[in-house]
Amino acid sequence: MASSKQICEEILKLADIKINGNRPWDVQVHDDRTFDEILKKGSLGLGESYMNGWWDCKELDEFFNKILSAKLEQKLKEVFTLSIKAKLAINFLISKTLNLQSISRSKKVAERHYNLGNDFYKNMLDPEYMQYTCGYWKNAKNLNQAQIDKLDRACRKAKLSKNKKLKVLELGSGFGGFGKFAAKNHNCEITSYNISTEQVAHSREINKNLPVKTIIDDYRNAEKENKHHFDRVVSIGMMEHVGKKNYRNFMRLADYCLKDKGILYIHTIGNLKSQGGTDPWLSKYIFPGGCLPSAADIIRAAEGYFSIEDFENIGHYYDQTLMAWFANFEKNWPRFKDQYRERFYRMWKYYLLSCAGAFRSGHIQLFQFVFSKGNLGKVYEGVR
C-alpha cells in the first residue's frame, strides 16, 4: 500500500510539481506530517500545514496556478478518506439547510477579517482610495492607478452623471473609496451600508466634507424608508459575502430601493459553476461563510426584477492586484511582525498568493454586471 508521501508525489507530478525539487514552484517539505494532513483534510490540511511551517515554496502563486490548471480536484477526491468525504457531504448539506450569511453570522466576517486595523490595510492597499477589490490594469502602471481606473469604470458603467444629481445606494462600502471617488468626480449623493466598525470609521473620516453618508448596519436593513429612493445601486466586492440563499433577496432589495429606470452595478469574484460554499481553508481563516456566485447564480437571482445590460469578466487583473498587495504586505511586514507574529504572516502570505494563483489559472473570475430596472428607453452603451 502506498504511503501518504507517495500518493502526494503522484498527485503533484500531474501538475509538474516535485517534492523537494529545485524549481520555484516545487515544494520543500520539512515535516512528513504534511502528507497525512493533506490526505485527511484536503485544502484545509494543505493550508494549515503551511501555517505550521511544515512546508515551503518559493513561488506559492505559481504552485497554485499549476495545481488548479492541472485540475487535480478530482484526483484529490479519489484519495480522500471516507471520513473526510462524509465531512464534506455534511458541510454541503449545512450550506443547503442553514443560512451561513445570516445577519448575525455576517458579523463574523467583519470581526475576523475587516477589523484587523486600518493601519494594516493602509500598508497593503492603494494609498488614495484603499480599494480591497480587483483593480483595472489595462493601462495602469501601478496599483494606485489600477484602482482609480477601476473606480472610474464603475462610475461610467453605472452611468453616473456630472450634469444630474443622482442618489446612489452602495451596499458594502469597504473603506469608503468608491463614495469618495464618485462624490468628488460626479454630481451624486452616496448612502453606504457596512458592518465593519474599522471600515466605517475610515469612510466617515475621508468623506466628512463630501455628500457621503456611511451607515454601520447590515445591507439588508437598507430598505427601511428607502422605497424607490435611489437612482443607482452599487455593490463592489460584497456579493461574495451575500450567500447563495440570499442572492434572490439581494435583488429584491435592490429593486425595492431603486427608482424606475434605475441601474444596478455589481462587481464580484465569481465561480465557474454554482456551489454552496467556498474553500474550507479560506472559510476557516479568512472569510467565514464566504460563497462565490457563478454568473448563472446572479442572472437567475435577477430574473423578474432586472434586465441585464452588460457583463464583463476581468478576472486576470485580480492576479496582478493580489501580487501588488503581497509586495506591499511583504515590504511593510517588519512594522507589524511584533503585533501579528509569524503564524499570521504565513497565513496572510498563503491567502494572497494562493488566490493570485487561482485567478491566474482561471479557476475563479471577476464579474462585472450592469442591470436596469424597467425600460431605459435606449440601448445601454457598454464601457470597454
Residue 78: what pLDDT? 57
Choose one of 69, 97, 125: the last residue of a domain. Answer: 97
Question: Does residue 87 lie in a domain region?
Answer: yes
Residue 368: what pLDDT? 99
Which percentage of the chain shows pLDDT scores above 70? 88
Are 91 and 119 in the same domain?
Answer: no
Are 257 and 309 in the same domain?
Answer: yes
pLDDT at residue 299 is higher than 90: yes
Are 321 and 349 in the same domain?
Answer: yes
Are 61 and 207 in the same domain?
Answer: no
Are 90 and 107 in the same domain?
Answer: no
Helix or strand or coil: residue 177? helix
Question: Does residue 381 lie in a domain region?
Answer: no
Beta bridge partners of 168: 190, 232
What domain count does the chain have? 2
Query: What average pLDDT does the segment 30-45 reach?
Result: 93
Residue 279: what pLDDT? 86
Are 11 and 126 in the same domain?
Answer: no
Report the alpha-carbon distance of residue 155 to residue 101 in Å, rounded.
28
Residue 362: what pLDDT? 96
Question: Does residue 323 lie in a domain region?
Answer: yes
Which 8-state DSSP code applies to residue 292? P
Is the Cβ–Cβ distance between 240 and 291 less than 8 Å?
yes
Are 145 and 245 in the same domain?
Answer: yes
Check the CA dihedral 136-172-114-209 and report its sign: positive
Report the alpha-carbon distance of residue 69 to residue 62 in Å, rounded.
10
**Grid coordinates given for 149:** 481606473
Confidence band for 87, pLDDT divided at 50, 70 and 90: very low
Report the alpha-carbon distance of residue 220 to residue 105 in Å, rounded.
13
Query: What average pLDDT does the segment 34-51 reach?
Result: 94
Report the alpha-carbon distance of residue 250 to residue 299 in Å, rounded.
12
pLDDT at residue 228 is higher than 60: yes
Beta bridge partners of 258: 230
* Average pLDDT for the chain: 90
Q: Supply the CATH number for residue 201's domain.
A: 3.40.50.150
Question: Does residue 136 lie in a domain region?
Answer: yes
pLDDT at residue 54 is higher than 90: yes
Are 136 and 229 in the same domain?
Answer: yes
Choose one of 97, 122, 156: the last residue of a domain. Answer: 97
Q: What is the pLDDT of residues 338-383, one digit of tens each?
A: 999 999 999 999 999 999 999 999 999 999 999 999 999 999 999 9
Amino acid of residue 289: G
Question: Does residue 39 lie in a domain region?
Answer: yes
Choose one of 97, 123, 156: the last residue of a domain. Answer: 97
Is the Cβ–Cβ distance between 276 and 92 less than 8 Å?
yes
Q: What is the pLDDT of residues 161-217, one digit of tens each?
A: 988 999 999 999 999 999 999 999 998 999 999 999 999 999 999 999 999 999 999
Please count the other Cβ atoms lying within 10 Å of the Cβ belonging to residue 377.
Answer: 7
Which 8-state DSSP code applies to residue 381? -
Counting Cα atoms < 13 Å in the Cβ hemisphere of 39 gives 20
Are 362 and 251 in the same domain?
Answer: yes
Is the Cβ–Cβ distance between 179 and 138 less than 8 Å?
no
Helix intervals (H) in 98-161: 103-109, 118-122, 143-157
Question: Does residue 76 lie in a domain region?
Answer: yes
Are 207 and 355 in the same domain?
Answer: yes
Report the alpha-carbon distance of residue 58 to residue 53 in Å, rounded.
13
Are 194 and 332 in the same domain?
Answer: yes
Question: Does residue 253 lie in a domain region?
Answer: yes
Are 118 and 66 in the same domain?
Answer: no
Report the alpha-carbon distance of residue 107 to residue 321 in Å, rounded.
26
Query: What average pLDDT does the segment 253-264 reach?
Result: 98
Q: Which residues are catalytic?
A: 355
Domain that holds residue 13: 4-97
Question: Does residue 380 lie in a domain region?
Answer: no
